[in-house]
Structure 1
Amino acid sequence: AYFQLLLLLTFFIAIGLAATPAAKARIGDLAVPEMSTFKWLSIILCTLLAGGGVFFAAGEPVYHFVVTPPAFDTEAGTAAAVPGALAQAFMHWGFLAWAVLGTLTAVVLAHAHYVKGQPLQPRTLLYPVFGERIMRGAFGGVVDALCVIAVVAGTVGPIGFLATQVSFGLHELLGWS
């Protein structure tokens, strides 16, 4: 429930900011954006779809049908569980996912890159927490490598299917999440 409330809060903050004068703020010293709005939205949409929407679009509703989400009290595997399963999947892959990916991560990375001059790498997102240690040391390289491996192992081809099945199996057999 906490994660869902956090997603909703992020979405409403993004909508609220888009309706204020803050929406006209520029990040960096560029007079003209490097990309058109159409290109930027295309990148965001394709990234989310490639990163998980295609893979989980069918798998997540089925999982929530078999294992009832915490927010619902229906019996798993019954006709009554279908609306809850679909609602949970739409919560994860609807506007809320776009709000988190398209605003939160993108704005933080854009600010760090264009204003602070930091690289467009996953380690940059952890700079506020770890400081220069993550930018210069081996720890930053490990973070970048793990992010790439997580994306490839979690969503691409047979490795993605294997990772998901192993995770589901460990959860069902041993209670690990």
Structure 2
Amino acid sequence: MHRRIFGAGLLATLGVAGCSSGPHVARYNGPPVTAIVVNKGARKMYLLNETDILREYQVGLGFAPEGHKQIEGDGRTPEGLYVINRRNPASQFHLSLGISYPNTADRANATAMGKKPGGDIFIHGQPNNHDARRRAERVKDWTAGCIAVSNEEIEEIWSMVQDGTVIALRP
């Protein structure tokens, strides 16, 4: 009798642990990603190990992609050096990796204009909402300033990129 109770308890514990382990993405066992480079003009993102390109992706940007993001709502994707500083497994865009925008200079520039710099800039997948996903499929640059890839690609990026990875966003 005690063995059955123990066995049932063990199975329940393992089942709960499996449910709370986060997104189910393939493990990455290759060279570490030491930097991310986004070439906004070419709509390309590169995952690098030192100077070697590990992966290359076509990306979508903010709806007004030219120039550096300055204020909330301008639709621009930032330019400059930042870091990946957080993860959101419950994102409204499949999965997302946070970018450390705004930095101190971004906040100061927005304040000088009497505005807010905005925030919540991510590398993310496609919208979970069906209507938003259909719109994203029709428009090249559809985000509010983020970097968009396919759901399959964000799963790969999620597994490869660690928090603290430098991201260079170039014009």
Give me the TM-score of the superposition, normalised by structure 1. 0.25
By relative contact order (CA 8 Å, sep 6+), the higher-ranking structure is 2
Give me the TM-score of the superposition, normalised by structure 2. 0.25
The structure with more strand, counted as a fraction of residues = 2
